[in-house]
Structure 1
Amino acid sequence: MPVTDISTDAENRTMTLVADFAAPIERLWKAFTDPSQLERFWGPPGWPSTFHQFDFTVGGKAVYYMTSPKGERSGGSWEFLNILEPHGFEVIDAFVDDEGKPLEGFPSMRMTFAFESTADGSRMINTSHFDSAEALEQVVAMGAVEGSRMAMNQLDVVLQDLREYAQGKGIRVELLDDTHVRITRLVDGPRELVWRAHHDAELLKQWMLGPDGWEMTESVIGAAPGDVHRTSWAPVGDTEGEAFGFEGEVLLVDAPRREVSTERMQGMEGPSTLNDLNLYEEDGATLLTLLIEYPDKDTRDMILATGMADGMEESYARLEREVLSPSRS
């Protein structure tokens, strides 16, 4: 993971994050000064950002909001004080409302981004300067330390060419903590087609089958928040196993970029998982990221032990082979 240290200093009223990257300083600079790239990591998993204003000049402003899996928004702004390409920049960072106005009761801070070259690539030193020890304590209590760590640890993916990072490597499963799992896979096809393959019932029946020997017997797709979704499978011929299915509710739709829904096995009581699907396209390929929130560690481990990741890999290989490839020929 890129982040090597996060420290707070109550006497000097600072929080400092240090991270090392296997990429040149110019590439790191680009990631922090291009809003389309910032949106991929500025915010912890499950809270991706959207920059709707980005005036990268001294005196200019960037305004953004982060959206939770349940649709809550948290807004922020940067006022650029200094810019020294490619070595860093300085901003006033503030919490803002939907109109971009500073929120009462929340501190603003002076924040510096310093980039330097290293023998293996580059280093970022991000220092936040607070007006008081109380303001520092308030931000730390809001989860800034762990949130910053998780956000910056997403940067490795952004700094690499997408195909170089993920092509041919299949499903990747990362345990972020006791209840959160991140699954990623590169799908060789444009985002619009990958999104449609997930939301067209007839297409879904062609590829989301897991291992050979199964068929999808039911596919009800939710198109908007509040809609119910339901999918069922059954064994075919001599395949061993019992029919099963999943159901849940759609919570958020931002086509063709993001969809969040709950999910549980049909006929089972108890809490659901929260599934946050994100699609990002680069050079005709789509990085699929699925962030799953489980109710507890035991449920997480039980579901992963079923071979879920292997079944997903077989399904996505089938998607590329039987749905996406024919559509491009």
Structure 2
Amino acid sequence: MPVTSVDKDLDQLTLTIVAEFTVPVRRLWDAYVDPRQLEKFWGPPTWPATFTRHDVFPGGRSDYYMTGPDGSRACGYWEFLTVDEGRSFEVLDGFSRDDGTPDPDLPVTRMVFAFETTGTGSRLTTTSHFGSLTELEQLVEMGMEEGTREAMGQIDAVVADDDTFAPDTGTQVHYLDDTTVRFSRVLRGTPRRVWDAHHDPDLLGRWFFGPDGWTLVGCEVATEPGGTTRFEWAPEEGVEGEQFAITGQLLASDPPHREVSTEIMEGVDAPPTHNELTLTAVEGGTLLTLVITYASVDLRDTIIGTGMVDGMETGYRRLESEVLSPA
């Protein structure tokens, strides 16, 4: 087991868990900031986690739920207070109701995750700060210590799997529930460069047009929440297809980390999708995570069935070669 010590300090109201790993700090850090990896170990083996949101930057938030053997759910959230890339992050860790709102009947804990290099790999020290002795005892009674031990026991297998999460694995699709889908791709560039490539009309014209033979002929990018974004594409001469456009409203923006918007194809009688874009620095570039919520399963299947994922991958490969690659 990677856990080497557990210390409960009743005077300081802390629970400190130390674990050691044989991989570099960067690899261990990435396992925590990548939701695809984190959900493979954050819950105990019988209560696997699903992260529907994971924004690793100060002011960011994570939402997740753990599913028990009987199908029941235990929901939680993190609010990021500080992030020192590759070294530490600090969160408020709380419980939430099924609708995502905080559960006021259960404690909120301040947790500090500190990463450091050792002679054999890396060490993670997780310190939980409690508001009272009663809260500490309550969470320990609920299985916090044993659950953390079991969760950390799964990390070795995750960090040993480099192939699944490498930059060249292409666009990955994860169905989080019936109507929510997470698309993930590591892009070879910094979060700022990837963000700019999604918001600068000149850069968008170089990569954001799907299959070869199409052109981005209209590009309006919202700069403030409440603004409208509109993209229009047309086939080049000799290419089959009809000109079309998608439009949407920008709901929230926190450059260069996160953006929330709606999206709908013009002329189509269907509800808009709800899109959450998150950019996170990882080894080898930036993890782009796009979580899309559809109004129904039928709409989800119709849109994805158009070849959406292949089109995304074509665009991302073009983005890397035409915009992000060194001049």
**Amino acid across the alignment from 1:115:** R
Secondary structure of 1:251 counterpart: strand
Match of 1:220 in 2: 220
**1:312 & 1:38 partners in 2: Cα distance?**
23
Contact 1:88/1:115 (<8 A) preserved: no
Q: How many angstroms does 1:123 deviate by?
A: 1.9
Secondary structure of 2:165 counterpart: helix
Q: Quote the RMSD (CA, aligned, Å).
A: 4.1
**2:196 & 2:163 partners in 1: Cα distance?**
21
Q: How many angstroms does 1:26 deviate by?
A: 2.3
**1:278 & 1:232 partners in 2: Cα distance?**
23
Contact 1:222/1:250 (<8 A) preserved: yes
**1:27 & 1:262 partners in 2: Cα distance?**
43
Match of 2:21 in 1: 26
CA spacing shift, 1:223–1:87, aligned 2, 3 Å: closer
CA spacing shift, 1:53–1:238, aligned 2, 3 Å: closer
Secondary structure of 2:256 counterpart: coil
Q: How many angstroms does 1:204 deviate by?
A: 0.3
Match of 1:45 in 2: 52
Contact 2:201/2:221 (<8 A) preserved: yes
Contact 1:162/1:282 (<8 A) preserved: no
The 10-residue stretch of structure 1 (162-171 or 259-268) with the greater mean CA deviation from structure 2: 162-171
**2:186 & 2:239 partners in 1: Cα distance?**
29
Q: How does 1:176-325 map to 2 (within 5 A)?
A: 176-325=176-325
**Amino acid across the alignment from 1:321:** S
TM-score with structure 1 length normalisation?
A: 0.62
Counterpart among 109, 112, 123 of residue 139 in structure 2 = 109
**Residue-pair matches, total:** 243
**Amino acid across the alignment from 2:238:** D
**1:229 & 1:236 partners in 2: Cα distance?**
23
Counterpart among 92, 109, 122 of residue 64 in structure 1 = 92
Contact 2:109/2:128 (<8 A) preserved: no
Contact 2:207/2:319 (<8 A) preserved: yes
**1:27 & 1:39 partners in 2: Cα distance?**
19
Secondary structure of 1:45 counterpart: strand
Q: Identity percentage over the alignment?
A: 35
**1:123 & 1:109 partners in 2: Cα distance?**
20
Q: How many angstroms does 1:267 deviate by?
A: 2.2
Secondary structure of 1:256 counterpart: coil
**Amino acid across the alignment from 1:45:** T
Match of 2:74 in 1: none
For residues 279-312 of structure 1, the C-alpha deviation after alignment (integer angstroms, 9 at most, x for no partner) is 1112451111111111111111111110001111
For residues 236-267 of structure 1, the C-alpha deviation after alignment (integer angstroms, 9 at most, x for no partner) is 11000011111111111111111110001112
Q: How many angstroms does 1:202 deviate by?
A: 1.1
**Amino acid across the alignment from 2:80:** F
Match of 2:76 in 1: none
